[in-house]
A and B are shown apart, each in its own frame.
Chain A
Amino acid sequence: DIQMTQSPASLSASLGETISIECRASEDIYSNLAWYQQKSGKSPQLLIYAANRLQDGVPSRFSGSGSGTQYSLKISGMQPEDEGDYFCLQGSKFPPTFGGGTKLELK
């Protein structure tokens, strides 16, 4: 199985701060990488797919980048509603595997 190593595990950001979350795959996943936000008690919401494509309706302060084994999610200007857990998902090879998650809090 492809292992997805996500960092950091937790992050505290100030209002308006730009933050990045990283996911590293154990092998090349050819940009088959998605990012999700999950609020407490809710289902994951798709933010980014294909490494850098913004899902419809997601604010433009979210962006994704990367290739090969290294990918990142950037939030340009932290907002209160951005608090939550963030996960990456690789779909390059079965089984699909998730990163361990990042808990993002507002400082």
Chain B
Amino acid sequence: QIQLVQSGPELKKPGESVKISCKASGYTFTDYAMHWVKQAPGKGLKWMGWINTYTGKPTYADDFKGRFVFSLEASASTANLQISNLKNEDTATYFCARLRRVFYYFDYWGQGVMVTVSS
């Protein structure tokens, strides 16, 4: 069955970096783009951007340009999100999600990774 399995929770200090992984299984990884979504505690969902799993090209939403990097380990069917120079406002759960190209919706989501930034 189709699954997106993300790495575990992270506790970091301001200024540090974090790398989150999202391993896909049950389908051909390069057939579907991988998107990233942020959910701050008690808040709604915010789209961060996506990575073309065939070419590796990332696209970032305006609020996520600079400190955020999407990457792939295509041989391992894994997408990664790295956040550098962490700030308190990066405290959130980060989801990866697969996009269906017909009607453009996310049909499968990872379980989410809680990143806590605290000194």
Contact = CB atoms under 8 A, between A and B. Distances in A.
B45 to A, nearest CB: 4
Interface of A: 31-32, 34, 42-46, 49-50, 53, 55, 87, 89, 91-92, 95-101
A100 B46 CA distance: 10
B107 A98 contact: no
A95 B107 contact: no
Interface of B: 35, 44-47, 61, 95, 99-100, 103-107, 109-112
A43 B105 contact: no
A99 to B, nearest CB: 8
Contacts of B44: 87, 98-101
Closest 5 pairs (CB-CB, A-B):
A91-B104, A34-B105, A43-B109, A50-B103, A98-B45
A89 B106 contact: yes
A32 B111 contact: no
Q: Is the interface of A mostly helix, strand, loop or mixed?
A: loop
B9 to A, nearest CB: 11
A93 B107 CA distance: 17
A13 B46 CA distance: 27
Nearest to A4: B44
B46 A89 contact: no
The winner among A49, A91, A95 for most chain B CB atoms within 10 A is: A95
A55 B100 CA distance: 13
Given A49-B100, A92-B104, 5 more contacts: A34-B105, A55-B107, A89-B106, A91-B103, A98-B45
B70 to A, nearest CB: 14
